[in-house]
Chain A
Amino acid sequence: MVSKTEEDQLIRLENQVENGGGGAWEYLCLVRKLKLRRSDKVFKYGSAILSDHKKRSALGPEEWTLYEQVAIAAMDCQRLDVAKEYIKVLQGKFHDSKRVGRLEAMLLEAKGLWAEAEKAYSSLLEESQFDQVIHKRRVAMAKAQGNLSGAIEWLNKYLEIFMADHDAWRELAEIYVSLQMYKQAAFCYEELLLSHPTIPLYHLSYADVLYTLGGVENLHAAKKYYAATIDLTGGKNTRALFGICLCASAIAQLTRGRNKDDKENSELHSLSAAALEKAYKQESPTKVSVLSSALRSLKVSS
């Protein structure tokens, strides 16, 4: 996950390089470190460095890491000619390298030669059973071919071995959500919450899934997790504040006539609504009236 400061730094560097202010190498390193997908920029800046002999030799041994990074970016941009060229360079330098072998298999993938790529990955796995990247490529290939149930199967197998990979749990949850398999998505977020109970994003996503599942019990639970998100983010999370309002409104509709925790429900609702109005007045003044009407309609239906 990327923090706000890291995101700001990335955007600043991107603008700097785009406007000719230099810093391309710094940008490429940051993208690599944060494992982001900025293939068009990486390809543009990276190939510019690699095709300049002076800049290339100034990198020293990092030259090879750059070749790998730009080859992958090239494949993502469907510039297979360039990718092939860079992989050849790496092959020349590192004979019989499994890491280069991985790139060759990725090139087969990029060409859409799924069977050949699968064969290549399988043979690579025989030698290095626990190569996470190759396992993940398998999931990616299934996804790319539209075989979502296959992707889910591979991803579940992966998580049995690498159960601490929270990005993989998130990926699985997102695939489940896209297929409207909300109970399974909830399970993934529960796993994430167990291992990372202080990350607000997981509380928020779990709340969203619970609300989507619906039913009074899930709505009450969702409200708790939205509240936890607000707690962990110092009250600044717009999505969680809206979530509270939605939950309170939906709960009130479903439990009409039963007065159990009406007071607590509406108090939380009012607090969240007030927090939203305050935030909008400060940062989005043109939308204040739309917000107020929206919040009013949620109150009316509650």
Chain B
Amino acid sequence: MGGESRYEIHQSAYIKLVLHALKHRTSAVNAVLLGRSAAAGVEIVDSVPLFHSQIGLLPPLEIALIMIEEYYGEKGLSIVGYFHANERYDDFELGGVAKNIGDHITRYFPQAALLLLDNKKLESLQKGKDRSPVVQLYNKDASSSWKLVGSDASSQLALKEPSANVVLLDYISSEKWKDIEDFDDHLDDISKDWLNSKLFN
């Protein structure tokens, strides 16, 4: 299945995930990953932050997935993965909701990547020169259960731009997360742009 897949994530997709988690640090958040299969593995080109409340409910998720697929389908991209950040700092467990959503995505894209925010890595980002993404990578193995891809997944999940973490730290210090808008925000006020098209301009 996805055991040997290699993933490369673009800077803007990656940064959006972390900024979204930082904007809503007292709740769990999630996002979908958009991309395509490439010769060397899976290219994660973009991400759309989804929700920061009541993540386990179906209706908002279904609407979000339909709209996202419609939009990105025209660009030749599909949903290739899912990102989840747990509510608690020290919770490294992949919960039921995350697994279910991951299962659903895997039905349409078997090498789907499930990324879980690694808070400890995020915290130590300031101190080190770590070039690996601050997430844990999960894949579905032959027995159809979600397996953590080694504690040092940097060989299978890489940041496309090596300075992505430096840029991320810069955005964190300038509190850029305030500008991120997710699907929850959009459903509350449809003028909010879940594409975040003006975020990095």
A-to-B contact residues, CB < 8 Å: 37, 144, 146, 174, 177-180, 182, 205, 207-209, 211-212, 238-239, 242-243, 246, 279-280, 283-284, 286-287, 290-291, 293-294, 297-298
B91 located at the interface, meaning its Cβ lies under 8 Å from any Cβ of chain A in the complex = yes
Q: State in angstroms the CA–CA spacing of A291 and B59 once bound together.
A: 15
B88: contacting residue among A144, A209, A287, A294, CB under 8 A: A144
A205: contacting residue among B54, B63, B66, B70, CB under 8 A: B54
B28 located at the interface, meaning its Cβ lies under 8 Å from any Cβ of chain A in the complex = yes
Known A-B contacts A205-B54, A280-B190; A179 and B96 likewise in contact (beta carbons under 8 Å): yes
Known interface pairs A180-B97, A243-B59, A293-B70; 19 further A-B residue pairs with C-beta atoms within 8 A, sorted by A's residue number: A144-B88, A146-B91, A174-B53, A177-B54, A178-B56, A178-B87, A180-B100, A205-B54, A207-B59, A208-B58, A211-B59, A239-B60, A280-B190, A287-B67, A290-B67, A290-B70, A294-B70, A297-B66, A298-B66
- On chain B, the residues within 8 Å of A178 by CB distance are 28, 55-56, 87, 95, 97
A294: contacting residue among B55, B67, B97, CB under 8 A: B67
Q: State in angstroms the CA–CA spacing of A279 and B26 once bound together.
A: 31
> Which 10 interchain pairs have the tightest Cβ spacing?
A212-B58, A284-B190, A177-B56, A293-B70, A208-B57, A294-B66, A283-B191, A290-B71, A242-B63, A294-B67
- On chain B, the residues within 8 Å of A280 by CB distance are 190
A208: contacting residue among B59, B100, B191, CB under 8 A: B59
- Which residue of chain A is the closest to B70 with respect to CB atoms? A293
Least Cβ distance of B51 to chain A in Å? 12
Per-residue A-contact encoding for B170-197, CB less than 8 Å = 1, 0 else: 0000000000000000011111010000
Q: State in angstroms the CA–CA spacing of A28 and B63 once bound together.
A: 37
- On chain A, the residues within 8 Å of B90 by CB distance are 146
- Assess whether A246 is in contact with B187, with CB atoms less than 8 Å apart: no
- For the complex, would chain A's binding face be called helix, strand, loop or mixed by DSSP majority? helix
Q: State in angstroms the CA–CA spacing of A146 and B88 once bound together.
A: 8
- On chain A, the residues within 8 Å of B70 by CB distance are 290, 293-294, 297
B-to-A contact residues, CB < 8 Å: 26, 28, 53-60, 62-63, 66-67, 70-71, 87-88, 90-91, 95-97, 100, 187-191, 193
- Which residue of chain A is the closest to B55 with respect to CB atoms? A178
- Which residue of chain B is the closest to A207 with respect to CB atoms? B59
Q: State in angstroms the CA–CA spacing of A144 and B87 once bound together.
A: 9
- Which residue of chain A is the closest to B88 with respect to CB atoms? A146
- Which residue of chain A is the closest to B95 with respect to CB atoms? A178
- Which residue of chain B is the closest to A286 with respect to CB atoms? B193
- Assess whether B54 is in contact with A239, with CB atoms less than 8 Å apart: no
Least Cβ distance of A252 to chain B in Å? 15
Of the A-B pairs whose beta carbons lie under 8 Å apart in the complex, a sample of 20, sorted by A's number, is A37-B26, A146-B90, A178-B28, A178-B87, A178-B95, A180-B56, A180-B96, A180-B100, A208-B54, A212-B57, A239-B60, A242-B59, A242-B187, A280-B190, A287-B190, A290-B67, A291-B67, A294-B63, A294-B70, A297-B70
Q: State in angstroms the CA–CA spacing of A297 and B73 once bound together.
A: 13
A238: contacting residue among B58, B91, B190, CB under 8 A: B190
Known A-B contacts A177-B54, A178-B95, A294-B66; A212 and B59 likewise in contact (beta carbons under 8 Å): yes
Least Cβ distance of A113 to chain B in Å? 15
B62: contacting residue among A174, A177, A246, CB under 8 A: A246
- Which residue of chain A is the closest to B190 with respect to CB atoms? A284
Q: State in angstroms the CA–CA spacing of A290 and B59 once bound together.
A: 17
Q: State in angstroms the CA–CA spacing of A37 and B27 once bound together.
A: 12
- Assess whether A283 is in contact with B54, with CB atoms less than 8 Å apart: no
Least Cβ distance of B116 to chain A in Å? 15
